[in-house]
Structure 1
Amino acid sequence: MLKTLSKAWKIEETRSKIIFTLLMLLIYRIGSNIPVPGIDRAYLAQMFSGETGLFDLFDLFSGGAFSNFTIFALSITPYITASIIVQLLTVAFPYFERLAKEGAEGRKKMAQITRYMSVVLALIQAIGLTIGLFRKAIINPNAFTMITIIVILTAGSTFLMWLGEEINDKGVGNGISLLIFGGIVARIPTMIRGLSVKIKGGELSIIAIIAIVIISILIVMVVIEMQQGVRKIPVQYAKRVVGRKMYGGQSTHIPMKVNQAGVIPIIFALSLLQFPLTITYFFPGTKFTDFVTKYLSPSGNPGVWVYAVLNVMLIMMFTYFYTIITFNPKEVADQMRANGGFIPGIRPGMATIEYLSRIMSRLCLAGGIFLAAVATLPTIINQFTPLNNLAFGGTSLLIMVGVALDTVQQLENQMLMRNYQGFLK
């Protein structure tokens, strides 16, 4: 990775893209520290002093901007939600399915729909947060102040969506993913400061810190192996004679990733599991709150075990669900058959579909177990060790490693394309 970055920095065009990307991330971090006007900071700090349920996920993606209620408090979560909705609509509605198959023009139309939906969702979330959750934190809650805050939050989220697309066009890597990556990395100093306080207070020893570093390195290695893991399905194309020329006859493969679903199953499962915790925030001191805290909260007893079991079950379910959406064995088999391709030893048609489905199910099982372990183990560690205030856990680590690998891969592809262009000239 360092070798790739070093080579990319020596190329003027690539260096300009890297600098542009870093400047956009700097703008994002500056905006994440500009507070929304008219907010009582002391009350805001009190609000986020304990369990905050689903808001932990929002705060993770915003790099702390949500808990500080800055102009980027909504982060790019409306855009992520809109993207997921549009992807699901391609399965449920023929119109979106047709757009997905129309190539560049269809993708352009879907991207436009996603933008409009993102703005609408940002507006709805801004209204809900301003009138609902943060209402008591507003110093002077009149109509003008409310409208001002709603407009600022909506504009901030829309600006981040534009910022991500600018990085896609003029920078390096996926802009939206890099914004999430920047927010997570920005929390590392907070984690280091928390660990130093624990060491000074005698809660942690130097040996424990060394063990944490070693375990973290091992986890990163496992995450990289699983993220890069691919099952290659061999495909042979038959020879065809067209006129006086012969086509086909080459061998290739279908790359099926072990973790095809990425981090999406963890996000979906986390959203569902922490929804009851979010509801308890609005009803403090009730029997419902006591029940959820004891039986469904990762800090409760036996809630931590119930939470862990439900987390594993939901992640496995969403892994299968999202993989089926992104990889359709029937479509792949039909495309191979139309182009004269076949899997050696497997008959074209239904036999190929069943073979691909069987391989996909096995990979889903391995990928689901991996995601469940990454998401669940930090919860148990936080509960039974002094490391209960770490700034990020398994989900953050998976996002960071995935984005880093994807960005380096894009850099390598750009340099490879540049070498091809130079050779052709």
Structure 2
Amino acid sequence: MWTTLQNIVAIPELRRRILFTLGMLAVYRVGCHVPTPGIDAQVLAKFFEGTEGTLLGMVSAFTGGALQRMTVFALGIMPYISSSIILQLLTVVFEPIEKLSKEGEAGKRKITQYTRYGTIALAVIQGAGIAVGLQTMTGPAGELVVPNPGTGFVLMTILTLTAGTAFIMWLGEQVTERGIGNGISLIIFAGIIAGTPAAIVNSLRLMDTGAMTPAVMLFILILMLAVVAAIVFMERAQRRVPIHYAKRVVGMRNMGGQASHLPLKINMSGVIPPIFASSIIMFPATVANLINVPWVQSVAAVMTPGHWIYTLFYVAFIVFFCYFYTAVTFNPVSVAENVKSQGGFIPGVRPGKETSDYLDMVLGRLTFAGAVYVSVVCVLPTLLISKFNVPFFFGGTSLLIVVGVGLDTASQIEAHLISRSYEGFMKGVSLKGRHG
């Protein structure tokens, strides 16, 4: 480990990329503490008390607490993620976007441009909704969150939040281009782990007061390590479908005759299913915070973390979205046609329709295993909170994102180290031509 760190410091380009990434993330964290004008922060903090089990609490966790403090980065990067998902779905169902996705680098740039426009549009809509909602929010004693509501406050809030989201999007793109790792993912990563110090302090405080015994804390620490190890294993796990290529003669040379494989990940859909499932399942609890209607309150009571009905619906939505998103992003018919056009075949399976049916069957089984794995990880926080009084959400979408981003960033750093090692092997070597 120490040798790896020394190698990272010794490579100027990699060192610059890592320092640039850390600098951009520091800028993001500073922006998460710049307040939006016209809001009483103390009243707003009282309003957000007890929202951990709602959509507001989940989004606030993704923004590193920026939404709870209503800063200029309150919307976070969520509008960009939503816009990216919409464009990705349109690539499958909307023919013009599908054609753009097949036009190489030019088409990719065009889709990126549309994603940016969609991000701004969604940020304006969400900013308007938040601005209008803030004017109706009050504290426990009836204090107004917005002391001076009106059109001016709404326009200023929309402009501030939209500009903040656009700036975060620019930061993410700069990190991707000039830093190390995926910039957007790292921004979400930074927002999630920002709450770790407070969670550790709360845990120690519970131990001091006797609310949590040292044995329970030791059990939780061991469980944390086991869950992280399991997520790393499952995110790296894949089913390798063997593919053989028939020999063919091209000119005076024999081509093909090679064996390869098609890697299919167990968790093809990533963190999209728990995000969508959380958004839907937490909607009643979020509405209950804003509307004081008896039947809404009763529905929200059973649709909050810890209740068995909530857990049942949560798992059902995760399984549904795992299958739905996998079906949208992976087309067995298209893959089978590509394999057939390149002269490849799966041993024991005829090219064409039988290959697509075989891939569909394998993918269905893998998706079921992935859905069970994601469901277990996402249900874990509610069990820890209800059974062991853990003061933070360990597991779920947050942990999947943190581990996934960490693995991806480590892979990119490793790739830089390997490429520089190859250059080091060639340094000082004279490659002679035939007249040497």
The Cα of 1:420 is off from its aligned counterpart by: 5.1
Structure 1: unaligned runs, 5 residues or longer: none
- What is residue 416 of structure 1 aligned with on the other side? 418
The code of the aligned residue for 1:197 comes to: R
The Cα of 1:288 is off from its aligned counterpart by: 2.1
Change (3 A) 1:80 1:3: farther
- What is residue 407 of structure 2 aligned with on the other side? 405
Verify the 8 A CA contact 2:64 2:195 in the aligned structure 1.
yes
Matching of residue 77 in structure 1 with residue 85 in structure 2: no
Change (3 A) 1:274 1:361: same
Instruction: Name the CA distance, whole Å, in 2 between partners of 1:275 and 1:293.
Output: 9
Verify the 8 A CA contact 2:77 2:168 in the aligned structure 1.
yes
- What is residue 379 of structure 1 aligned with on the other side? 382
Instruction: Name the CA distance, whole Å, in 1 between partners of 2:37 and 2:207.
Output: 37
* TM superposition score normalised by structure 1: 0.95
- What is residue 50 of structure 1 aligned with on the other side? 50
- What is residue 352 of structure 2 aligned with on the other side? 349
The Cα of 1:146 is off from its aligned counterpart by: 2.6
- What is residue 96 of structure 2 aligned with on the other side? 95
Instruction: Name the CA distance, whole Å, in 2 between partners of 1:420 and 1:83.
Output: 36
Verify the 8 A CA contact 1:167 1:173 in the aligned structure 2.
yes
The Cα of 1:395 is off from its aligned counterpart by: 1.6
Structure 2: unaligned runs, 5 residues or longer: 138-144, 428-436
Q: Which 10-residue stretch deviates more, 24-33 or 192-201?
A: 192-201
Q: Which 10-residue stretch deviates more, 78-87 or 126-135?
A: 126-135
The code of the aligned residue for 2:69 comes to: N
- What is residue 142 of structure 2 aligned with on the other side? none
Q: How many residues align?
A: 419
Q: Which 10-residue stretch deviates more, 238-247 or 6-15?
A: 6-15
- What is residue 231 of structure 2 aligned with on the other side? 223
Change (3 A) 1:251 1:421: farther
- What is residue 431 of structure 2 aligned with on the other side? none
Instruction: Name the CA distance, whole Å, in 1 between partners of 2:135 and 2:281.
Output: 22
Secondary structure at the counterpart of residue 163 of structure 2: helix
Verify the 8 A CA contact 1:236 1:343 in the aligned structure 2.
yes
Verify the 8 A CA contact 1:39 1:139 in the aligned structure 2.
yes
Q: How does 1:146-157 map to 2 (within 5 A)?
A: 146-157=154-165
Secondary structure at the counterpart of residue 333 of structure 1: helix
Matching of residue 162 in structure 1 with residue 164 in structure 2: no
Identity across matched positions, percent: 43
Secondary structure at the counterpart of residue 17 of structure 2: helix
Secondary structure at the counterpart of residue 103 of structure 2: coil
CA distances 1:212-263 after superposition (whole Å, capped 9, x unpaired)? 1111000000000000001111111111211112211111111111111111
CA distances 1:360-411 after superposition (whole Å, capped 9, x unpaired)? 0111011000000011121122123211x31543221111100000111112
Verify the 8 A CA contact 2:381 2:393 in the aligned structure 1.
no
RMSD of the alignment, in Å?
1.7
Instruction: Name the CA distance, whole Å, in 2 between partners of 1:236 and 1:188.
Output: 48
Instruction: Name the CA distance, whole Å, in 2 between partners of 1:419 and 1:346.
Output: 42
- What is residue 141 of structure 2 aligned with on the other side? none
Q: Which 10-residue stretch deviates more, 102-111 or 222-231?
A: 102-111
- Pick from 394, 397, 410 the counterpart of residue 396 of structure 2: 394
Matching of residue 297 in structure 1 with residue 298 in structure 2: no
Greater Rg over alpha carbons, structure: 2
The Cα of 1:101 is off from its aligned counterpart by: 1.6
The code of the aligned residue for 1:412 comes to: E
The Cα of 1:33 is off from its aligned counterpart by: 1.0
Secondary structure at the counterpart of residue 244 of structure 2: strand
Instruction: Name the CA distance, whole Å, in 1 between partners of 2:123 and 2:299.
Output: 29
Q: Which 10-residue stretch deviates more, 216-225 or 318-327?
A: 318-327
Change (3 A) 1:172 1:87: same
- What is residue 126 of structure 1 aligned with on the other side? 127
Instruction: Name the CA distance, whole Å, in 2 between partners of 1:86 and 1:351.
Output: 31
Instruction: Name the CA distance, whole Å, in 2 between partners of 1:167 and 1:289.
Output: 43
Matching of residue 336 in structure 1 with residue 336 in structure 2: no
- What is residue 28 of structure 2 aligned with on the other side? 28
The Cα of 1:421 is off from its aligned counterpart by: 6.0
